[in-house]
Chain A
Amino acid sequence: MESFDLLLGGFAAALHPAVFLVLAFGLVTGTVAGALPGISFVNAMAMALPFTYLMQPTAAMAFLGGIYVGGVFGGSISSILINIPGTPASLPACWDGHPMTRAGKPQMALRIALTSSATGGLASALLLTFAAPPFARFALTFDQPEFFAATVLGLVSVIAIAKEQPILSLLSMFLGMLIGTVGVDPLYGMPRFGFGQPMLQSGVNWIVVMIGLFAVAEVIDLICEERELRPKAAGGGSISFRGLWGLKNSILRGTGLGCMIGMIPGAGATVGAVIAYGVEKQASGKGARFGTGVPEGLAAPEAAKNATTGAAMIPLLTLGIPGSAATAIMLGAMILHGINPGPLLFTSDVSTVYTIFAAMILANLLMIVAALAVAKGFSTLMRVPPAVLGAFIIVLSVVGAYGVRNNIFDVYVCLFFGLVGWGMKRTGFPTAPLVLGVILGPLAERYFLTSLVNYDNDYAIFFTRPISGTILGLAVLFGLWSLWPAIQDLRHRRAGRTTPLDHTGRVPEDG
C-alpha cells in the first residue's frame, strides 16, 4: 500500500493552488493549440518551455503534462467539426467523426471522442502510476527488430483503413514512403533526392506534409467548391450514458492498443490511433459501414490516442528515454529543473514522481471540463464565413509549418502539399495512406537497417526473435483479414459469377 500513500502525497502536491492552476492553464492551452489546424501541441510545448524556468519543478511538469494531455485530445475537435485534423493523431477522428457532424450530430461525436479519450488517458495514467517499473523492464527486451515489426503492423493497417480501393491506398502509401526517403539517410549519411538543395538534405518533415495535405488542401477545396464548413446545428445529436456504455468494448480495445503502442519509441499517438481504427474496423463487425459515422470507429482510435500519453511517460520517467517529440521536450524541461529521469528517479526523487503521476491523473479528469469549453468556443468560431475561416486556417498552417523547424523551406513544402492534396482529393486518390507512409517509411527503414547491422545481416532475425516474429505474424494475418473481402470478390469474378455488389464494393453476405 506504499504506493497509495505516495500517491496521496502526490495529489496533495498537485492540488496545491500554484500547481493546480498551471495544470488547468496548460490543459486549456494544449486543447486550444491542438484544436487549431496547423498549430500542434508540440509547438505549444516548445513555446511554453521558457516559461517553466520561473516555476517550481513539479509545477513545470504539471504545466507541460497538461498541454500534452489537452493537446492530444484537442486535435479531434477540429477533425470532428471541420474535417481538418488539428494534430496528426486526430487523423482517424476525421473518418467517422466528421460524417457525424455532416449528419447534424456534432455534439454526439464530441461526447464520444471526449469520453473515449478521457477513459484511455486515465487508464494509461493509472498504468503509469502502478506498473511503470516492471513495464519499463519489459520494454527494454524490445530491440530494433521488434520496433521494425511494430512499424510494419502500422503500415499494414493502411490496408485495413482503406475503404474501397486497397490498390490505390497502397500506391498512396508507397508514394509517401518515397517522399520519406528524401534527405540524408539515417545510417550511412548519404544524401538522397537532394537535387543540390541544402534544405532537402534535412528531409521532408511529416508534420509539414500533414498540414499541407489536410489543412491547406481542405481550405482550397472549400473555396473552390464554395461549400459551407459550418456544422449544422452545433447542439444536435446528443448521446445517452447508455449509448456510451455500449461502446465499452471499442474503448477497451483502443485503450489496450494505445497503452502498448505508446511504450514503443517513435510510434506514439498517431500510429496508435491508426492501428486501433484498423483493428476496430475488423473487430467491431461493422467494418463495412466504417467511414460513414460509426460510433465505434470514432471511440477506438480516440481511446488509443490518449492512452499513449501515460504509456509514453513510462520509458521517459523510468529510463530517461523519450519516445516522441512531446516527451523529448518534457525530458529537456526535467533536466533544466535538475530532475534526472532514469532508473534512479524512483528512489532519489520519489515525491516528484508521484506528483507527476497525480498531475497526469488530474489532467485526464479535468480534460473533460476544459475540452467541452474549448469545443463550445470552437463551434462559435465556425460561424464565421468560410472565406474568413479559410484565410485564418491558411495563416495558422503557414505559422505551424514554419514553427516545426523554424524554417521557411517547410512553408513552401506545406503549400506544395496543399496543392497536391487538393489534386488527390479531386481525383479520389486517398491522402491518409500517404501521410502514414511519410511517417512510418523512414522509421521502418531505420529499424530495418540497424537490425541488420546489429545481427550480422541475417534477414531471418525478424522471424526468429519471438516477439518480433509474433508481431510480424499478426501483421500478415491482419493484412489477409483486411483484404479478405477483396480476395473473395476476385474469386467470385474468376468464377464468372455476376454477383451484384453493394455500394461498399463488398459481396452481400448471402451472395
Chain B
Amino acid sequence: MKAALGTFVAAGIAATAFAGGALAQDAYPERPIDMVITFGPGGGSDTMGRTAAHLAEKELGVAVPASNVSGASGNAGLTRVLTSPADGYTLGTLIALTVSSWAAGLGVGQPDQFDVVGVLQSSPSMLFVPKDSPHKSAEELLAFAKANPKALKVATSGFGTMDDVTLRYLTKQGDAMTNVPFAKPAERYASTVGAHTDAIYEEPGDVAQFVQSGDLVPVLVFADERHKDFPDVPASKELGLDISGLDNFRTIAVKKGTPPEIVERLHKVFADVTATQEWHDFCAKTYTCTENMSVEDANAMVETFYKKVKDLLAQPS
C-alpha cells in the first residue's frame, strides 16, 4: 500500500517535470498518457474510459493510467484537461450530459475547446415503462398524457439535460409529462422498476438487465429510425414527433491546439480499439456500438448537439 502510494506520488512528480519540457513530437508517445475520467468510478463513463485505456495501451505501447476526476457534471475533469498542456498526454472523457450542461449555462466548456479523437459509444434514448404499467405502448402513453397533462411522472437525470429538453418538446406537442429528476442513476432505475414513477427516459444499455428480465418495457425510441435491437419499438418520427439528434454519446477528447499529427494518431488508435473483438463484445452488450467517425465529423456532432440543446432550452417549458 505504502509502496503503491510512493509510486503514485513519484509518477505525479515525474509527469509534472516532463510536462514543462519541450517534447519531440515524432517520438509520440514516449511516456504514459493520462486518461481523465470525468465521472466517478463504476459508472458508464468510467467503464468506457477504463476499457478504452486498457485496449489503447496495446496500440500505443505506453501505459494509459485512468484517474477519476468527478464533479459538476463532468466539468471538473474537463477543467483538468483544459489546464494541462495540449501535447496529447492528457485525454478526457467527454459525454453528451456534459455538453448539455454547457448549453444550460453550467461549467466553463464550449465545443470548440476540444478535438474529439474518438466517438466510442452512442445510443439513442428511449422511454421505458414498468412491467405492470397500464400503458403498454407509446400511443397509449401519449394519449394518456394528452388527456391528463403532467399526470405521468418520468424519471430523468435532471433539469437542463437532454432528458429535460425531450420532455419540454413533448409538452409543446401537447403530451405534457412531469420531469422527476434523480441525481443518482441507480435511484432512477429503482424508482421505475419499483413503479414509483410511470416511465423512465434512458438509453437501453444502462437498463439492459431490466429490459432482458422484463421489469422494464421499451415503448418509444427517440430517433428517426427504429433501433435495430428493438425492431418492435416505434421511432418517435413515426408518431410525428420530430425529436432526434439527442443521442447519448461518450467520446474521448483532447484539448484544442494539440498538434494535428498527434490528434490523427490518437484518432487511429481509438478507431483500432473500437475494431477489436473485445470492444465489440463490450459495446454490443450495452447497445452502444458506433461507426468510425472522422475528427471533423465528431467535432461537428458535438457542436450540433450543443446548439440543439441550447435552442430547445431557450424555448419556454
Footprint of B on A, CB under 8 Å? Answer: 29, 32-33, 36, 39, 44-47, 49-50, 53, 140-144, 147, 183-184, 186-189, 191, 198-199, 201-203, 265-266, 315, 319-323, 325, 328-332, 335-336, 338, 340-345, 399, 405-407, 446, 450, 453-454
Contacts and interface: CB of A to CB of B under 8 A. Distances in A.
Interface string B48-76: 00110010000000000111111111011
B1 A29 contact: yes
B208 A336 contact: no
Nearest to B212: A344
A265 B210 contact: no
A406 B67 contact: yes
Contacts of B43: 328, 332
A344 B213 contact: yes
Nearest to B215: A343
A184 B104 contact: no
A164 to B, nearest CB: 37
B187 A340 contact: no
B276 to A, nearest CB: 15
B186 A332 contact: no
A189 B9 CA distance: 35
B173 interface: no
A26 B71 CA distance: 28
A379 to B, nearest CB: 17
Interface of B: 1, 4-5, 8-9, 40-43, 46-47, 50-51, 54, 65-73, 75-76, 79-80, 101, 104, 106-108, 153, 158-160, 178-184, 186-187, 189-191, 193-194, 196-197, 208-210, 212-213, 215, 281, 285
Contacts of A147: 187
Given A143-B194, A407-B69, A342 B281 contact: no
Contact of A323 (B50, B183, B186, B209): B186
Nearest to B37: A406
Contact of B42 (A32, A332, A342): A332
A183 B106 CA distance: 12
A454 B4 contact: no
Given A202-B71, A407-B76, A332 B41 contact: yes
B72 A340 contact: no
Given A198-B79, A407-B76, A328 B196 contact: no
Contacts of A189: 101, 104, 106, 158-160
B213 A343 contact: yes
Nearest to B208: A340
A147 B184 CA distance: 13
B72 A202 contact: yes
Given A32-B1, A189-B160, A321-B189, A446 B183 contact: yes
A24 B52 CA distance: 30
A340 B153 contact: no
B238 to A, nearest CB: 30
Given A343-B213, A407-B76, A454 B197 contact: yes
B281 A338 contact: yes
A53 B191 contact: no
B181 A450 contact: yes
A266 B190 contact: no
Contact of B187 (A53, A265, A344): A265
